[in-house]
Each structure stands twice: as C-alpha cells, then as structure tokens.
Chain A
Amino acid sequence: MRPEFEEAIRVADLPEKTKEQLRTYIADREITKEQFDTILDRVIREYANTRIEACEAVGIIAAQSIGEPGTQMTMRTFHYAGVAEINVTLGLPRLIEIMDARKEPSTPTMTIYLEGEYATDRDRAREVSWQIEAAPLHEFGDIVIDMENMQIVVQLNTQVCEKRRIAVSDIIDTAPRKIRDRRHYRDFECEVDEKNATMIFSPKDRESYQNLFQLAEHVRNVIVQGIDDIERVVVRKESGEYILYTEGSNLKDVFEVEGVDTTRTRTNNISEIAQVLGIEAARNAIIHEALSTLSEQGILVDVRHIMLVADMMCMDGEVKQIGRHGIAGEKESVLSRAAFEVTVNHLLDAAIANEVDELSGVTENVIVGQPIQLGTGDVKLIAKPLKLGES
C-alpha cells in the first residue's frame, strides 16, 4: 500500500475498526489514486450516515430486538456446548436467567485457560485440573467399615496420591478438618498414622450403627483435593492449547491455583464475577453471556442492544434484575411502577411517602394522555408559519 494512502487513512475521522478493515481490503492491490479517493470518500460519507439520530427511542428498540427473537428460541434446557461431557443451560431459559440476575445460574460452569507450559503440555494441564476438581477421599484409597470395632479404616493409596500430586500428610490433615467445617459433622474422633498412610475414624457414640454408617458416608465423600464447588473438570485441546471446562464455579479459588491464566478464565456466574472482579467485569460478562446465548441459537442481534441492557442492569454499581425486583421496581415514577406489577401496593406506599410523579417517562404520559418525551414527541422546535404575502 502506498504511504500516502496509509497517511490518508490515519488522519481520517473514522473508528479504528473501520480503518483496519480498510487497510486489509486494499492491501496488496493495485489501486490508483483516483480509486482510493473515491473509496475513502464513500467510507467517510457512509460513516456519517450511520450515526444515530437524536431522540431515537433506543431502549425500546433494544428491548424489542432481544425480546422478539425469544419466540424463535428453544426451550430445551440442556444442551452440550462444545464439550459433550458438560451440560449447560441454553436458549430462552438461559436468557431469562441472565436478565433475572440470578445469584446462581442453574448450571454454573467455568472455562479455565492456562498459562505457559500448562497450556501446551497435557500432563501439566491435568495437574492443574487435579488442583481444581473436587476429589472425595474414596478416590485416594480404600475405606473399610470395621463393624466389630465400630470404626472406619482408611488406607490411603500412596501411588494414587503421588500421581495426583498431593501429599499424604495433606490428606490426613484436611479430611477430618473438612468433615467438621464443610460437612458440619463433629461427633467423631480421628487417629492418624502418617507413616502407614492410614486414618481411623470412630464415632463418639459407639452404640449405634447408624452413626457409624453416617460417618462412613461423610468420610467417603469428604473433599480432600480441589475446590469444593467444582464437581467436574474436563480437559480439552482447542486451537493448540489445553483448556479446562468445569461443572460448578468458584472464580476466587480457581484464580489462586497455579497455572491458571487469570486474564482469560471466565465463569458463567455473573454475580460471582461482580463480586470478584467488579461491576465493569460483570457488565462485560452479561454482554458476553447474552450474546453467546443468542448466537448459539443462530439469532443475530446487534451488540449495542445488549450493551444497553447490560448498562441499565449495572448502572447503580450492582447487578440489578430486569423486572419487579430490579430496574422496573425502582423507577422514579409511581404510575409507571403501578402499571407494571403489584399495582395497588405501589399506590398505597406512594401516598404514605407523599411521592410526586413528574410525568417524564413513557407510561406516565400515555396514562394521562399527552405526548411522550421520545422520538418526534421530544422535538421542541416550533416553526412559525409565515402569513401569505409575507416574505
């Protein structure tokens, strides 16, 4: 490309993305100056043409653009997204979930990217996955219920422990602690023998077999390695690197695992992102989740609409629901709230607090029967007609 073209593109008043596109399309091509000038001229003109007009009711258009294709989406809750082993909620239910700003999605999952050689070496990636996947005690050895002595004997398998990169002492240390703290079961005693890698659990109440079996259940399932909320991890190779997909989500703990690329790792639990990474990250998560839910169904929706919804949800610094308990319920206008849901209560409460409706929104003005402050109703310029004969 001729340097004069490059310079002309550089100084043009265009967004970077457009400039980049322009460069790629005309690179390596024989273009005359005249052709280039017409191209640039038309690009600039079209850019000016596509600016949004003032007074446009962008909110309604955004809501319609996301709502209208909702009828075309499937209700099938479970779907396999990319990975056959992990179920993810998709389609309309997922979209509703995002807009509801649920504390916990119905199928929390994470996509964990890895750093450096963890990303390229399968075994190293597997190591990270062991650090993350919640593994119960019974995977590390044999558990025998000794009914005669009313105790449970755990014989750890040192080979497995070695393979899984966990020290026997760690297991011996964490298992009883976790049964007490995480599983809230305290009526037992524990003897350990680190040398032989055995643990002996016995219930405090030695009278009842029921207690013994209850304890056995806790011992079997206590999580000694990995992160409790993450039930399963699948390692997959995608475009040259290993990526971990998980069932269950715990962003904070995963970030602390060595080898995890914290810049790219993500979860589908939006409120968790808001807590760990802040509201801006949550806004981006909403955009990403909504957009991928829609495009997975083959529905084209402009990002700008979704950005507007996300901005509206995150405006006050916390993720707010679209609906009664969020944006719609916290509106300034009494009439607008009353027209949405729980009509009577809003009116009664408004009377007590002496609320005043300024009649600025759409519903309020429709209710009292005057022009709304949007679109052509928002133009205050008035032309005075000339009388005939005046110049």
Chain B
Amino acid sequence: MPSPKRIGKIEFGLLSPKEIRTMSVRKIIWADTYDDDGFPYPQGLMDLNLGVIDPGLRCKTCDQKASDCPGHFGHIELAKPVIHVGYTRLIRKLLRVTCRSCSRLLLSPEEIEKVVGTEDDLTGDILSEKDIKKERVCPYCGEQQLKINFEKPTTFSEIIIEDGRKIEHKLTPADIRARLEKIPDEDLRHLGINPEVARPEWTVLTVLPVPPVTMRPSIILENGQRSEDDLTHKLVDIIRINQRFKENQDAGAPQLIIEDLWELLQYHVTTYLDNEVAGCPPARHRSGRPLKTLSQRLKGKDGRFRGSLSGKRVNFSARTVISPDPNLSVMEVGIPLAVANEMTLPVTVTPYNIEELRQMVRNGPARRSLSQPCGANYVIRPDKRRMRLAEGNLETVAEMLEPGWVVERQIRDGDIVLFNRQPSLHRMSIMAHRVKVMDGRTFRLNPAVCPPYNADFDGDEMNLHIPQTEEARAEAAILVAVEENILSPRFGGPIIGGIHDHVSGIFMLTNQLKWHTKQEALYLLKNIEIEHLPSPGMVKDGVPYWSNKQIFSIVLPKELNMVFRASSCQNCETCKRQECDRDAYVRIIDGILESGTIDKKAIGAFDGQIVNRIIRQYGMKRAADFIDDITHLAIRAIMMNGFSFGIDDEDLSKTEYGQIEEVLQNAITDVQRRIRIYEDGQLEAMPGRTPEETLEMQIMQVLGKARDRTGEIAGRHLGLGNSAVVMAVSGARGSMLNLTQMAGCVGQQSVRGERIMRGYDDRTLPHFRKGDRGAAAHGFISHSYKSGLNPTEFFFHAIGGREGLVDTAVRTSQSGYLQRRMINALQDLKVAYDGTVRTTGGRIIQFCYGEDGTDPMKSSFGDPVDVKGIVESILKEEV
C-alpha cells in the first residue's frame, strides 16, 4: 500500500575527501577483479564489502543477499591530486578572480559591495569573472597577478613575461589545490559558492570513490567468461596507473617520468568521469567501442534521467496488432482470449465474495473458450507469499481461501482497461475502454475511436494496461473513459465520430427522400436496440413504407432541435433552404430529421455537429450511445447496396476526353504565348518581382486553372452514382482534386512551391531542349493517373512525391521536439482552488484561467456558452 512518507527535498553538494573516506567501506588497492577460482580479490574492485552480485554470496558489510544488498562505496587513494573535468571552468574562474599569493578575492571590500550590496541590503547578484580587471595587483598583499591560461581538457598555466618574452608556467593540480584551499569562505559566498557543502579544493580530487559493484555488475557470457562493466574497466586503469605512480614516486623516479604518469592518471580519471570531453581522445574498449562512463550513463534520451527515471517500465500490460470491429461499442475494446488469460487483476477476499472467488480459483488459469467464466492465475496469502495456480492445486487452494487473501483473477468482459497508441501526443492517446474478450489474436476497436488515437489498421500496434487498484479503476472510469473524452480540449468540439464508411453510409442512407419497405427498414436497424418501429410515413397499395429520414430519426434523442448546413452545401448565394437541390439544408425538429443529408458535418470526427449538440444537451454518455447507434446504422446502410470503386469508375465519355484534351492544349499554347512575350522582353513585371518570377507565377496560374477545368469536366460526367464522388461530397475520404487527378489530369508537380527547375544545365531532363520553359519540360503532367504517365512525367511525379516524403520525415522530428520543450516548460501549471493558474511551486501565472475561467474542452468551440444552440433548440427554428 502507498507509503505515507514523502521525500521532502533533495540537497545537492560536493563530497569532501573526508566524507568519501567515511562513507567508504574498503580501500581498494588491487587492479584485479577475480582470482582463478572466480572468487573476488579482497581489496580488489569486486571486493565482497562493496556488495554482491552473484546469487548465493552474502555481502561482507551488511550481511544481506544479492537481491537485498544495495551496495557500498569503496575508495582509491590517489597518489597525487587530479582535476575533476566537470569543474574546470569553475577552477579557471576561481584562479582568475583570486590572488596568486594570498588567494583572496581581487576586489577591495568597497568594490565587492558595489556588486553584492551591503549585508543588510543584498542585491542578490553574484560576482562574475567580468567584474575583475585582468592582470591587476592584489588589493590585500600587493602581488602582481598573472594571466591564467586554460587548455582543454585539464591543463592550467600561468603566463610569465620575462624580458618581453612570454613564458608559460604549468600549474600542477597540487598547486591549484593549494591555491583553492586558501580562498576564504566569505569570498566564496560572494561568488555563489556555499563553502559548507562545496569547498573549491574538493573539485581537485585526492580520493576517488569507488562505486558499489551493484551499479557496475559483470555479466557472464555463454562461454562462462566474465565480461566486466565499462566502469570497472576504467577503474582498473586508474588503479594500475595509480599503483605505478606510487612505486615510481617512492623509488624517486626522475621528474619527467612523474609528470608523465601524473598526466596519465589525470587522463584516466577524466575519461572515467566523462568520456566525451573536448580535446581528449575517448577511452576505448578492446573492440574499439568508446567506453560508457559516468557522464554518458546520465546523458541523453536513454540515459539515467530521461531513460530510467522519467520513463518507467510497467507490468500488467499487453501489446498486439489492432484491427477494426464495427459491431463493438466505441466504449469497448476486443481482447484476445490469450491476452485475457495472462492478465490479472487483484481482488481481496471478503466474506461477500469468497464463494465467487473460490469458483474462480477452481476454474484455474486455463480458460479455453469465450463461453467459460474467468479463472485466476495467482493467490496471494496475507504473508505476501504468492502461489501460482496450476492444474494440480486448484481444489486445495480454493478450500484454503480466507478473507484477507488476494486472488489475482483473469480479465473478463466489462473490466476497465487503459488503451494507448504511441506517439502519445495528447491525452486522448490513452483512454479507458471496457473489455470484451474475443477470439483471434488482435485487439479490436470500433473505427470511430481511431481519430483520437490517430490509428489505422495497416499494421498498427497498441498497448493495453490493467489498472490494479480500486483508485486507479475509479480514475479510469470517471476521467479516462472514452465517453469522457469525446470532446477535445484543443478546441471544444467532438474528436470521436463517424469516419470513412460511416460517413458514406449515412450519406447514402439519408440523401434525398427515399422509401423503404418494412424488410429493408428492419435490415437497416438490425444492430440498433429499439422496441418498435415508428408508424410508417406512407402507405401505398396497402404496403407500409418508412422514409430514410424516419429511419435515421430513430437514433436521435427525442427533443433535439437544430438547423445547419451539411458539408455538401455549396454556399449558394441565395439559400433555397428545404428546397435545396443537394438536400444540404439539415433541419431536425423534435428529434425528427425533417430535411437534409447527414454527412461529415453532422456526425464526423472533428466536426460532428449533432454529436456536439447531444453532448451539451444530454451529456457524454448519451453522445457515446449515439455514436454507437450511428456507426451501426451507417454500416448496415452501406451494406444494403454495397460500396466499391474500380478502374472503370474513372471512365469518361468521348466528348469529355475531347474537351479535356482541348483545355490542356489551350493551356499549353497559352503558356507558349506567355513565354514568347517574356523572351521578347515585353512582359511587364509585377511590383517587386523580376520578369522571370512573374512569368513563373503566370504559368503556374494558367496550368493550375487548366487542371481545375479538367476536374470540372470530369465532375460533370461523374455524378452521385460514382463512389468516389459520394466519398468526396459526403466528406468521408478524398476530394474532388483526387478524382480530377485520376480521371482528368494530374497537373503541375512542384518542388518548394515552384515548377521543377533542377537537373541538367538549362534543362530538367535530356528529353528537352536547353532553355525550354514549356509546360511539359518543367513538370506539368497532362495525363491522368488512369491514362498513365509517360516516362518524363513519371519522373517528375517521383520528384514531387519525394519532397512530400522528406517533408514528413523532417516535420515529425521538429514538431516532436517542439512539443517536448513545451511540455517541459508548462507541465507544472495547474488551476488552483481560487481559480488562478499557478506553478506547483505557487507562482501565479494567470489570475483567472484563460481570462474568463472557461474550460476549453467544455466550451463550445471557444465560447463559454453555446447561445446559438440553446436559442435554436428552444425556438425550434434557425437563428
């Protein structure tokens, strides 16, 4: 159960050599790890005091087993001090701002006061390098200061000017440490350093902590060989050099050798801390791969911070391919039996459910068919012991069951689960569904919930998580459920609604007035729960008929009143309203569709006017039910006549082909004419453009118009009998442009908004004359997809297509980074109980959220109240 303890704060500071020695459990002196028997050397890098990784051994420090021992630090005494690479810039700054002999700040108390302020009146500023003039005299001891040179990665030197010549004098880490040691505490405070936790001399290491073996475990390869962690390798190097250094020092080796060894030690410690320092060749593994040392472990996407701490792994999750099932509710998700059998949910045994749970335990882990009730996989006793249920022990465990035990039962119909598809760009990428256990091996979902997940079924996979506590299930049901997320907080409109065939289907059902027999009506309404049909709208020759609008009205709530124009509306100058030729004037009075066609504007995802109105008037649950009904009805409607598209649907008649040919021919000659005007120097340039640019713009315009004309010609021939037209007009998929390209003419291919200009000298392809500015030579495709492209056209088409691909690839990474930055900048903001927007730290960002305190999700496309809708529904007329 959740611990009541909270970590209050985390303080950061440096480890002093003293602290390193106190926290160390063992001084490490041997570079070797294991002896020939595979046992760790005492005082070696794998010393048993540092923790254990081999199962069976016990830690010598805490006497715990490998699984419980957290590991303990050791230490290495360095022969001579070395610089910590991360702090070279700090050291440089300190050397430059302090005196080389007395180590005090190179500013008089008055000068310090100017920047920092007096004790009572601190400015809050800290001193920086710029506040101190170069090469001045120390105000305390009068010592002439020298210029400090810093060379990457860790070399410091002083510049002495002697007889007009510059002489570089190298500072050893020991010299530097001595100077840093002398800096008084108050001076450090002025520099923004807290001397109690971070004395600057601690940045020059004299002792090196050795991390516990648990954070650098060795792995045993298949051939039984041990392979050590990169950190261990690096530590081996350090100890080896350190040892050699000590020996040479004791033997009184010449200064040159000592210096070399010192530098080598510095190199190894540097790469141990950070193996990507500028000016320092990275330490490599035997195989040539650069070692992953301390900094590299923390850094980057897969580093400790972003990879392991901010992103965590979970249990109780499943992943598989998704596929559509239009018969499911949008609130449901179909789960394969194999997944449901594996995934469990803990239930505490109480006197009320003990019998039910006993039965589940008896059912065991193997549920073979959908009709069988769910079983259980594990039982947890009050002493936290976990018992796996298997064929043999079912009966005995069932008898042992007592209140207080926990049974991990399998998932069954109606359980609430979280469903997710990456990339999780907004909160609707994770929603809670109700389980429906099904055959097959894929997750099944109603296609109407594809838009929020941005899912399709071309092989997409999705993840499923089972909430394990009552709190989690309650939050899932109340906040994360699909029916709570129909509205998008981005713009305050529905994001779940009919797509593709739902829209085409409902369009074909409701477009124009049609009459259906009882048999047809029942066929359409088969998947919708209704008790009885409304009275027939027409009786002819004693046979009752129901109109298509009547059938649609069955799924509408009874008191719904609204008037709007469908997406097939042409925005005519004078609206003929009910008498619209295209039947685009939608009027719903008291839940009856009086006129108009239902299409994308009415029920589609993102638009869904009816869905939107139902949510505001009847709530989210009713809207979810409506979406279920409408999708079921639409699928039946599209099934009644069938819906398909083939190559012959792009056929036009001879007259149209003639007209298209003529339009294109005219356009091409028009282009030729304009080119001639340009070449004669007669073309008048548009203001601010060169004649050449003007010509290009004119050509693009002429050819664009020509393509549109061919589209119109093709459109005249293809009516609502054509499936592609139905899809385009209803808004289900595609546009008239797509149809134009298939049947009429593909049109101009462009790169960066201009005609295709690149290629050979003065021409795009060797098929054309040099300097040819004509339509065909720069990527105009006069054929249609159906008639087929000729080789040059095909090539231009590929050029245009490639640009699109590159664009998408670049865009995803750029927008992903933008979103990461924005989330990071804004994630701590919340609405406080007083209506202000604050950071979690308590800073106020806005006094009233959004200046009016309106929730964008609940708003009506931004407005706090949908006044139009309310007035409309009460007056029952268009306002």
Other-chain contact of A344, B86, B196, B475, B852 (Cβ < 8 Å):
B86
The CB with the most chain A CB atoms within 10 A, among B11, B829, B841, B854, is that of: B829
Asked if B582 is at the interface of the complex by the 8 Å CB criterion, the answer is no
In the complex, what's the smallest C-beta–C-beta distance from A262 to chain B, in angstroms?
25
Q: Bound state CA distance, A99 and B842, in angstroms?
A: 24
Other-chain contact of A367, B12, B309, B823 (Cβ < 8 Å):
B309
Do A308 and B829 form a contact, CB below 8 Å, given A78-B753, A315-B845, A338-B305?
A: yes
Asked if B853 is at the interface of the complex by the 8 Å CB criterion, the answer is yes
Asked if A92 and B11 make an inter-chain contact with CB atoms under 8 angstroms apart, the answer reads no
Other-chain contact of B10, A234, A326, A359, A378 (Cβ < 8 Å):
A359
Asked if B769 is at the interface of the complex by the 8 Å CB criterion, the answer is no
Encoded as 1 (CB less than 8 Å from any B CB) or 0, chain A from 256 to 284 comes to 00000000000000000000000000000
Residue in A closest to B475 when the chains form the complex, CB atoms:
A376
Other-chain contact of B13, A52, A305, A344, A351 (Cβ < 8 Å):
A351
Stretch at the interface among A54-62, A153-161, A183-191: A54-62
Asked if B425 and A64 make an inter-chain contact with CB atoms under 8 angstroms apart, the answer reads yes
Residue in B closest to A96 when the chains form the complex, CB atoms:
B818
Residues of A within 8 A of B814 (CB): 70, 75, 92, 96
Asked if A71 and B837 make an inter-chain contact with CB atoms under 8 angstroms apart, the answer reads no
The CB with the most chain A CB atoms within 10 A, among B13, B312, B807, B850, is that of: B850
In the complex, what's the smallest C-beta–C-beta distance from B313 to chain A, in angstroms?
13
Asked if A76 is at the interface of the complex by the 8 Å CB criterion, the answer is yes
Residues of A within 8 A of B862 (CB): 302-303
Do A51 and B855 form a contact, CB below 8 Å, given A343-B305, A347-B298?
A: yes
Asked if B819 and A63 make an inter-chain contact with CB atoms under 8 angstroms apart, the answer reads yes
Asked if B285 is at the interface of the complex by the 8 Å CB criterion, the answer is no
Asked if A56 and B855 make an inter-chain contact with CB atoms under 8 angstroms apart, the answer reads yes
Asked if B688 and A234 make an inter-chain contact with CB atoms under 8 angstroms apart, the answer reads yes
Q: Bound state CA distance, A22 and B870, in angstroms?
A: 10
Asked if A66 is at the interface of the complex by the 8 Å CB criterion, the answer is yes
Asked if B827 is at the interface of the complex by the 8 Å CB criterion, the answer is yes
Asked if B871 is at the interface of the complex by the 8 Å CB criterion, the answer is yes
Asked if A200 is at the interface of the complex by the 8 Å CB criterion, the answer is no
Asked if A367 and B310 make an inter-chain contact with CB atoms under 8 angstroms apart, the answer reads yes
Stretch at the interface among B23-31, B243-251, B484-492: B484-492
Residue in B closest to A307 when the chains form the complex, CB atoms:
B850
Asked if B827 and A53 make an inter-chain contact with CB atoms under 8 angstroms apart, the answer reads no
Residue in B closest to A353 when the chains form the complex, CB atoms:
B192
Asked if A289 is at the interface of the complex by the 8 Å CB criterion, the answer is no
Asked if A35 is at the interface of the complex by the 8 Å CB criterion, the answer is yes
Q: Bound state CA distance, A17 and B851, in angstroms?
A: 13
Asked if A46 and B697 make an inter-chain contact with CB atoms under 8 angstroms apart, the answer reads no
Asked if A347 and B826 make an inter-chain contact with CB atoms under 8 angstroms apart, the answer reads no
Residues of B within 8 A of A340 (CB): 824
Residues of A within 8 A of B193 (CB): 352-353
Asked if A46 and B8 make an inter-chain contact with CB atoms under 8 angstroms apart, the answer reads no
In the complex, what's the smallest C-beta–C-beta distance from A312 to chain B, in angstroms?
6
Asked if A354 and B194 make an inter-chain contact with CB atoms under 8 angstroms apart, the answer reads yes
Asked if A67 and B850 make an inter-chain contact with CB atoms under 8 angstroms apart, the answer reads no
In the complex, what's the smallest C-beta–C-beta distance from B384 to chain A, in angstroms?
20
Residues of A within 8 A of B305 (CB): 335, 338-339, 343, 367
Asked if A312 and B493 make an inter-chain contact with CB atoms under 8 angstroms apart, the answer reads no
User: Considering the complex, which residues of chain B in the window 601-641 have a beta carbon less than 8 Å from any beta carbon of chain A?
Assistant: 616
Residues of B within 8 A of A119 (CB): none
Do A51 and B298 form a contact, CB below 8 Å, given A58-B849, A308-B829?
A: no
Asked if A384 is at the interface of the complex by the 8 Å CB criterion, the answer is no
Residue in A closest to B471 when the chains form the complex, CB atoms:
A376
Asked if A192 is at the interface of the complex by the 8 Å CB criterion, the answer is no
Other-chain contact of B871, A39, A71, A363 (Cβ < 8 Å):
A39
Asked if B125 is at the interface of the complex by the 8 Å CB criterion, the answer is no
Residue in A closest to B616 when the chains form the complex, CB atoms:
A46
Asked if A304 and B687 make an inter-chain contact with CB atoms under 8 angstroms apart, the answer reads no
Other-chain contact of B821, A54, A322, A345, A348 (Cβ < 8 Å):
A322
Do A54 and B298 form a contact, CB below 8 Å, given A43-B867, A351-B14, A376-B475?
A: no
Residues of B within 8 A of A359 (CB): 7-10
Q: Bound state CA distance, A75 and B753, in angstroms?
A: 11
Do A302 and B856 form a contact, CB below 8 Å, given A15-B864, A363-B310?
A: yes
Asked if B865 and A50 make an inter-chain contact with CB atoms under 8 angstroms apart, the answer reads yes
Q: Bound state CA distance, A71 and B807, in angstroms?
A: 11
Q: Bound state CA distance, A64 and B819, in angstroms?
A: 7
Other-chain contact of B875, A29, A353, A362, A374 (Cβ < 8 Å):
A29
Residues of A within 8 A of B306 (CB): 339, 343
Encoded as 1 (CB less than 8 Å from any A CB) or 0, chain B from 1 to 24 comes to 010001111111110000000000
Asked if B868 and A64 make an inter-chain contact with CB atoms under 8 angstroms apart, the answer reads no
Q: Bound state CA distance, A300 and B867, in angstroms?
A: 20
Other-chain contact of A18, B197, B818, B863 (Cβ < 8 Å):
B863
Residue in B closest to A342 when the chains form the complex, CB atoms:
B299
Asked if A362 and B874 make an inter-chain contact with CB atoms under 8 angstroms apart, the answer reads no
Residues of A within 8 A of B535 (CB): none
How many of chain A's residues have a CB under 8 angstroms from any CB in B? 111
Asked if A305 and B490 make an inter-chain contact with CB atoms under 8 angstroms apart, the answer reads yes
Do A332 and B865 form a contact, CB below 8 Å, given A52-B855, A59-B830, A343-B299?
A: no
Residues of B within 8 A of A73 (CB): 811, 815
Other-chain contact of B825, A43, A49, A327 (Cβ < 8 Å):
A327
Do A312 and B12 form a contact, CB below 8 Å, given A46-B870, A95-B818, A322-B822?
A: no
Q: Bound state CA distance, A95 and B839, in angstroms?
A: 24
Other-chain contact of A328, B753, B812, B821 (Cβ < 8 Å):
B821
Asked if B821 and A68 make an inter-chain contact with CB atoms under 8 angstroms apart, the answer reads no
Do A68 and B310 form a contact, CB below 8 Å, given A46-B865, A348-B87?
A: no
Do A361 and B840 form a contact, CB below 8 Å, given A53-B855, A57-B829?
A: yes
Encoded as 1 (CB less than 8 Å from any A CB) or 0, chain B from 88 to 114 comes to 001000000000000000000000000
The CB with the most chain A CB atoms within 10 A, among B13, B825, B866, is that of: B825
Encoded as 1 (CB less than 8 Å from any A CB) or 0, chain B from 772 to 802 comes to 0000000000000000000000000000000
Residue in A closest to B687 when the chains form the complex, CB atoms:
A85
Residues of B within 8 A of A26 (CB): 871
Residues of A within 8 A of B830 (CB): 55-59, 373-375, 378
Asked if A193 is at the interface of the complex by the 8 Å CB criterion, the answer is no
Other-chain contact of B491, A43, A47, A300, A372 (Cβ < 8 Å):
A300
Asked if B309 and A339 make an inter-chain contact with CB atoms under 8 angstroms apart, the answer reads yes
Asked if B427 is at the interface of the complex by the 8 Å CB criterion, the answer is yes
Residues of A within 8 A of B822 (CB): 62-63, 66-67, 99, 309, 322
Asked if A252 is at the interface of the complex by the 8 Å CB criterion, the answer is no
Do A54 and B831 form a contact, CB below 8 Å, given A300-B493, A305-B856, A359-B8?
A: yes
Asked if A350 is at the interface of the complex by the 8 Å CB criterion, the answer is yes
Residues of A within 8 A of B866 (CB): 46
Residues of A within 8 A of B295 (CB): 344
Asked if B10 and A357 make an inter-chain contact with CB atoms under 8 angstroms apart, the answer reads yes
Asked if B826 and A352 make an inter-chain contact with CB atoms under 8 angstroms apart, the answer reads no
Asked if B518 is at the interface of the complex by the 8 Å CB criterion, the answer is no
Q: Bound state CA distance, A74 and B697, in angstroms?
A: 21
Q: Bound state CA distance, A74 and B13, in angstroms?
A: 47
Asked if A50 and B855 make an inter-chain contact with CB atoms under 8 angstroms apart, the answer reads yes
Known: A63-B822, A300-B493, A366-B312. 19 other contacts (CB 8 A): A22-B867, A25-B871, A59-B830, A65-B426, A67-B426, A67-B815, A304-B851, A304-B854, A312-B829, A312-B845, A338-B298, A339-B310, A353-B194, A363-B827, A367-B305, A370-B6, A373-B830, A373-B840, A374-B828
Q: What are 27 A-B residue pairs whose CB atoms fall within 8 Å in the complex?
A: A29-B879, A46-B866, A52-B850, A53-B831, A54-B832, A57-B827, A58-B849, A62-B822, A64-B427, A70-B811, A71-B811, A71-B812, A99-B821, A302-B492, A303-B862, A304-B849, A311-B837, A323-B825, A326-B825, A334-B12, A335-B305, A351-B198, A354-B12, A366-B310, A374-B828, A374-B840, A375-B830
Interface of A toward B, CB cutoff 8 Å: 14-15, 17-18, 21-22, 25-26, 29, 31, 35, 38-39, 42-43, 46-47, 49-71, 73-76, 78-79, 84-86, 92, 95-96, 99, 232, 234, 247, 300-305, 307-309, 311-312, 315, 322-324, 326-328, 332, 334-336, 338-340, 343-345, 347-348, 350-363, 366-368, 370-376, 378
